[in-house]
Amino acid sequence: MVVLSQPALDDYSLIKTCKPPPCPLEFQWWTSHTPDAKTLIVKACEFGFFKVVNHGVPLEFITALEAQSLGFFNLSQSEKDRVGPADPFGYGNRRIGPNGDVGWIEYILLKTNPDVTSHKTLSIFQETPKMFRSAVEEYVSAVKKLACEVLELVADGLGIEPRNALSKLLRDEKSDSYLRLNHYPPCLELQALNGINLLGFGEHTDPQIISVLRSNNTSGLQICLRDGTWVSVPPDQTSFFFNVGDSFQVMTNGRFKSVKHRVLTDHTKSRMSMIYFGGPPLSEKIAPLPSLMAEGEESLYKEFTWCEYKKSAYKSRLADYRLGLFEKKSACQ
């Protein structure tokens, strides 16, 4: 648990509780039994955020990783600090990145590719029971498979050939993909402040191709609609939520949208989330796919490698518009 004194709350952002939208927010979802799944997936990616049900990821993989993760987060602070501070991998507490962002959070960030693992990832595995590493590997394998299935459905829906043109970037032996385990302890100090929440993870978009999130049954996740309204996402611990990443937005020349999202803490209950970030190899060039460009359509973005974008994103603040540095300026500007 993150333990902080009352004065430390001055370092955090306090946010008024969002009012519900005028009508219930509906999420597009995909199920393997839906005949028009590829059409639904494309529409969902154009929105930028959707839920996947009937996903086929074994429940025991999900519950095992959650149990092992909570076991780690329940250790004493001194034990957890042995595998910190995050660099960005390893254990992090309060600080998010190197540029001043903070949140009411503690987390573990791990590389998921065994061929390009980090020193801090190995340290985590050495300091935790063998069951922790096993739970991570089984979960990542299953969720990566799910992400690839979704990307192949997207390829079907967009007419991209070959069908694995997108999913192969995640399956590549040099894929730069991560697993993030987030723990948001309850903030009892805020119980007396009616309608006020503490920011757990600030607003941001995900820079990778696609992100796959599963959380427990505690609310807190919010997404930003195109009119700037923040709305809360009802928790669903049996399903997975997908975020389109910045890289995917570029690859579709802006047709798919990378949606800003954030997490608020709960006053009385802890929130636990597990996010797989599907990224391409560092040398992969990111640019609009030629097969998706209409005749005469111009690219909205400069070509860049994933390594270049990753370095740029790492130097930014969470809320920065990272793609702005890579947008092409029109001739009339």
Q: Which stretch of 20-29, 54-63, 156-165, 253-262 has the lowest confidence by average pLDDT? A: 20-29
Contact 147/210 with Cβ under 8 angstroms? yes
What per-residue confidence (pLDDT) applies to 1? 33
Residue 4 falls inside a structural domain: no
Contact 309/246 with Cβ under 8 angstroms? yes
Prediction pTM value: 0.91
Residue 321 falls inside a structural domain: no
By CB atoms closer than 10 A (0-12, 13-18, 19+), residue 28 is middle
What per-residue confidence (pLDDT) applies to 189? 75
Q: What is the mean pLDDT of the chain?
A: 88
Sign, Cα dihedral of 210, 282, 321, 255: negative
Contact 186/265 with Cβ under 8 angstroms? yes
What per-residue confidence (pLDDT) applies to 187? 82
The pLDDT of residue 150 is above 90 = yes
In degrees rounded to 5, what are phi and psi of residue 55? -80, -20
Which CA distances in Å does 39 have to 248, 281, 329?
Answer: 17, 28, 32
What per-residue confidence (pLDDT) applies to 194? 64
Residue 333 falls inside a structural domain: no
At residue 23 the predicted structure's pLDDT band, cuts being 50, 70 and 90, is very low
The pLDDT of residue 263 is above 70 = yes
Max Cα separation, the chain?
Answer: 60
CATH number at residue 311: 2.60.120.330
Residue 158 falls inside a structural domain: yes
| Domain span including residue 114 | 10-315
What per-residue confidence (pLDDT) applies to 19? 55
The pLDDT of residue 10 is above 90 = no
pLDDT tens digits, residue range 265-285?
988 899 999 999 999 999 999
Residue 324 falls inside a structural domain: no
Report the percentage of the chain scoring pLDDT > 90: 70
Residue 320 falls inside a structural domain: no
Q: What is the mean pLDDT of residues 162-170?
A: 97
The pLDDT of residue 69 is above 80 = yes
| 137-143 LR contacts (CB < 8 Å, sep 24+) | 138/61, 138/64, 138/65, 139/57, 139/61, 139/62, 139/64, 139/65, 139/179, 139/274, 140/112, 140/179, 140/276, 142/56, 142/57, 142/58, 142/61, 143/57, 143/212, 143/214, 143/240, 143/276
Among 148, 135, 156, 137, which Cα is nearest to 69's? 135
Q: What is the mean pLDDT of residues 129-139?
A: 94
Tokens of 205: 């978009």
pLDDT tens digits, residue range 49-64?
999 988 889 999 999 9
| 295-304 LR contacts (CB < 8 Å, sep 24+) | 297/253, 298/328, 299/253, 299/328, 300/250, 300/253, 300/254, 300/327, 300/328, 301/250, 301/253, 301/326, 301/327, 301/328, 302/326, 302/327, 302/328
| 109-113 LR contacts (CB < 8 Å, sep 24+) | 109/178, 109/179, 109/180, 109/181, 110/136, 110/178, 110/179, 110/180, 110/181, 111/177, 111/178, 112/136, 112/140, 112/144, 112/175, 112/177, 112/178, 112/179, 112/276, 113/173, 113/174, 113/175, 113/176, 113/177
Which residues form the catalytic set?
Answer: 271
pLDDT tens digits, residue range 178-206?
999 999 998 877 765 666 778 999 999 99
Q: What is the mean pLDDT of residues 101-116?
A: 88
pLDDT tens digits, residue range 299-329?
999 999 999 999 999 999 999 999 999 999 7
What per-residue confidence (pLDDT) applies to 248? 98
The pLDDT of residue 7 is above 70 = no
Domain count, the chain: 1
Residue 328 falls inside a structural domain: no
The pLDDT of residue 251 is above 90 = yes
Residue 329 falls inside a structural domain: no
Report the percentage of the chain scoring pLDDT > 70: 85
